[in-house]
Amino acid sequence: MIKGIDITISILYITGIVAIGLWAGLRKKKRIAGNESKDYFLAGKTLKWPMIGLALFATNISCLHLVSLAQSGFDTGLLNGNFEWMAAFTLVLLALFFVPFYLKSKVATLPDFLEKRYNKACRDWLAIISILSAIIIHIAFSFLAGGIVLKTLFGVNMYVSITLIALLTGLYTVIGGLRAVVVTESIQTIVLLSGAIIITAICYHKVGGWHGITDVLHATGNMDKISMLRPVGDESGMSWVAVFLGYPVLGIWYWCADQTIVQRVLGAKDTNQARSGALFCGFMKILPVFIFVLPGLMAYVLAQKGLFDIHSVQHLDATGKMVTDTKGIYTLMITELVPTGLVGVLVAALLSGLMSQISGALNSIATLVSYDLYKRHKPQTNDKQLVKAGRISAVAALVFSLGLLPLIDQYESLFNGINDVIAHIAPPITTVFLLGVFWKKASAKSAQYTLWLGSALGAGVFVINKIFPDSAIGQIPFMMMAFYLFIACVIMQVSFSYYFPVHHTAESNTLYWKSPWEPLQDKGWKGVGNYKFLSALLLLVMVVLYSIFH
């Protein structure tokens, strides 16, 4: 339980964010009358690279990440940091290859892009999948993580606390649109990072620096906890082969083809702003390993030293064995290691992550429902009706996500749970986007059938895994399963493309690269802000980091 001063800080923070969100959204709405939908859903196409990068990072990093990455750091060390560092490579792909098409085609949503490249059936299917994935992955899992934290800290019922946060976040998101989301996300990113840095510094001091960590790990025979790349056959199921084969399937969908993430790029002022914003986020993705995952590892070291009491998250299982419920490790770190006053700042950081993730997802759901479903059936819909439909859908998404909480609470690891879901959703979407952008012969029918059959295959495998966990399929780690499903989808689309040959429209004929080098012909800005220089620098930094923490 936290003290009065920390509760006051948390309440003041929430009140301030809601007020800023309402002000940002309503102020811009008055300034651009007559173009409500473009302003509401895409912030008037005025976003610049710093805000895009911060918003991308904030939408990705949520309360779920702080809680689950600290949990994974305690359990397996730096291993799950691969999900953060590998994101840098897919953000380079987004900046170099996908951003130009998205902005050139002037789409408001990614399903809209699929219709231009393929057909209407692809658009409809991706819109539905995107809405469901946003509700499950971006909202429901974040709610669960936030509920666990708030229940532990404040002692209130998990569903009561979640409902309150949902109402407050929904208030400024539904009223203010993307501008309110991006402005608040920029602030929340700074608060979240500040809080994470504070607890990292405290843990680093208490543990005695890097040598203090390695000495304990060496003494306990756990030096593999500081290794990012594990050997083939590692019991975690996350060998270096699984990471390099499986993550791109998840990452390309998440960073390059997921509406919730990419919508920040679609609101960019121009291509250079969008590219630089994506690469700025790529550099920021280096930080989570050190300020989200490493604190969990340091908590493990402190527990081994007897300087961190974990008895409150331990209990006897059915066999009488003492087990540790590591879902609550981050919350325990706040209450056990952080002095009064700073606890309020860290709770504000947790709430920042929770609210930014939810607000970003709600705005994307509103955009998808309005443009890809509602306007499709009622083409004469005006801007005000579009915005109204979006707001109603955002409220409905909040209610539906709350109903999913008991189901997803069954995962022991929140982070593995969310990636397990993504691993079965992503392969067909990653396939049709990759082949659509890089292969001239990718036909509309092939993409349509790949989305349908690939999604059915992924859902079937997911169900088998849950019903028969000891089966051959159930034993395949989710990262490798994502790769195998991707290969199956590629075979599907290539085969279907030859059976149903492509017939390009004038528009679709401009929406694929004639060669991999074509997107690099754009000169971009001069100097260090040039997207080619930033891409090369980011790739070099990642290679160096992996060579150090291999």
Summarised one tens digit per residue, pLDDT across range 222-271 is 999 999 999 988 888 899 999 999 999 999 999 998 877 887 788 788 88
Instruction: Output the furthest CA–CA distance in the chain (Å, rounded).
Output: 70
Q: Spell out a b/e string for 148-187, using b for 16 or more CB atoms within 10 Å of the CB, else e.
A: bbbbbbeeeebeebbbebbebbbebbbbbbbbbbbbbbbb
Who wins on pLDDT, 29 or 461?
A: 461
Who wins on pLDDT, 230 or 170?
A: 230
pLDDT of residue 41: 45
What average pLDDT does range 193-197 have in this prediction?
82
Centre a 10 Å sphere on the Cβ of residue 229 and count the other Cβ atoms it contains. 17
Nearest residue to 3 via CA among 348, 345, 350, 343:
343
In this predicted structure, the answer to whether residue 122 has a pLDDT above a threshold of 70 is yes
pLDDT digits (tens, 9 = 90+) for 324-363: 778 778 888 888 888 877 787 777 777 766 776 777 777 7
What integer best gives the mean pLDDT of the chain?
84
Long-range contacts of 27-30 (CB under 8 A, 24+ apart): 28/179, 29/176, 29/177
In this predicted structure, the answer to whether residue 28 has a pLDDT above a threshold of 60 is no
φ and ψ at 314, to 5 degrees?
-110, 150
Least confident interval from 71-80, 165-174, 202-211, 429-438: 165-174
pLDDT of residue 175: 66
pLDDT digits (tens, 9 = 90+) for 53-69: 887 887 777 777 778 88
Please report which confidence band the pLDDT of residue 320 belongs to, taking 50, 70 and 90 as the band edges.
confident
What average pLDDT does range 518-528 have in this prediction?
86
pLDDT of residue 29: 47
What average pLDDT does range 182-192 have in this prediction?
70
- Rg of the chain's alpha carbons, rounded to an integer? 23
pLDDT of residue 307: 85
Question: What is the rounded CA–CA span in Å between residue 430 and residue 73?
Answer: 29
